[in-house]
Amino acid sequence: KQEVTQIPAALSVPEGENLVLNCSFTDSAIYNLQWFRQDPGKGLTSLLLIQSSQREQTSGRLNASLDKSSGRSTLYIAASQPGDSATYLCAPSNFGNEKLTFGTGTRLTIIP
Amino acid sequence: NAGVTQTPKFRVLKTGQSMTLLCAQDMNHEYMYWYRQDPGMGLRLIHYSVGEGTTAKGEVPDGYNVSRLKKQNFLLGLESAAPSQTSVYFCASSYLIGYTFGSGTRLTVV
């Protein structure tokens, strides 16, 4: 059974800093891995998807890396802004049915 | 706009009542899913479907039933609601290129 751990559970940083969010998973036989953002009381917004054959994916100030063999992914946020404050969730998916397994997320607060 | 639409957005039920949550997607995705999200528990998979006419159990299926009669729709039913089913329910769809989530249904069972 896939288990996903996200550390830290919460993080507060001053505006402008670069930061890294960590995700680890126990079953490396994944199809892909997605990072999502969730604002309070809202749904999930997909940020980045990394296929199992890829090492990293970039979108604007966001960069996600994947090390499938070690069961780890990181989300790098450059030049953080108050609008980045949200909960960030990582979720690897299984082959065959693409079921996602979620961690409990990292709640990020950017201090102006 | 293309995406996943959930109805209703909010609902209050009394214990023992039944209801159906509707999920509709217009992206021609094969796979559809129902998750519930509870504080401190993350999102947990209730049921999923890998194609029209198919359904399968997820991590927490007890007390729920689903149907996928049409490719674009995935229905989640509660036959006899219990307070433990108070949660936020999310529907999602996918096929090869990642997930799209609906905006959620906040259900309270009193």
- B45-74 pLDDT per residue, tens: 999 999 999 999 999 999 999 999 999 999
pLDDT at B49: 95
Give the residues across from A88 on adjacent strands: A37, A106
Nearest CA to A61 among A18, A32, A21? A18
Spatial distance between the Cα atoms of B110 and B3, rounded to a whole number of angstroms: 31
With bands split at pLDDT 50, 70 and 90, how would you rate the model's confidence at A35? very high
Residues in chain B within 8 Å Cβ distance of A103: 42
């890998």: which residue's tokens? B50
Spatial distance between the Cα atoms of B64 and B21, rounded to a whole number of angstroms: 11
How would you class A20 by CB atoms within 10 Å of its CB: exposed for 0-12, middle for 13-18, buried for 19 or more? exposed
Residues 6+ apart with CB under 8 A from A111: A12, A13, A14, A15, A82
pLDDT at A96: 67
Taking CA atoms, what residue in A is nearest to B4?
A43
What's the whole-number mean pLDDT along residues A79-106? 90
Upper half-sphere CA count for residue A34 (Cβ side, 13 Å): 21
Radius of gyration of chain B (CA): 13
Spatial distance between the Cα atoms of B31 and B49, rounded to a whole number of angstroms: 6
With bands split at pLDDT 50, 70 and 90, how would you rate the model's confidence at A99? confident
Spatial distance between the Cα atoms of B50 and A96, rounded to a whole number of angstroms: 9
Q: Provide the token pair at B106.
A: 């906040």
Tell me the percentage of chain A whose pLDDT exceeds 70: 98
pLDDT at B95: 83
Cβ neighbours around B81 below 10 Å, total: 21
Give yes or no for A50 touching B (CB within 8 A): no
Give yes or no for A59 touching B (CB within 8 A): no
Residues in chain A within 8 Å Cβ distance of B44: 102
Which one of A99, A101, A104, A106 makes the best mutation probe of the B interface by having the most chain B beta carbons within 10 Å? Answer: A99
Q: Provide the token pair at B6.
A: 């959930």
Q: Provide the token pair at A43.
A: 């749904």
Spatial distance between the Cα atoms of A69 and B97, rounded to a whole number of angstroms: 22
Residue B96 has pLDDT above 80, yes or no: no
What do you get for the CA distance between the two ends of chain B, in Å?
Answer: 35
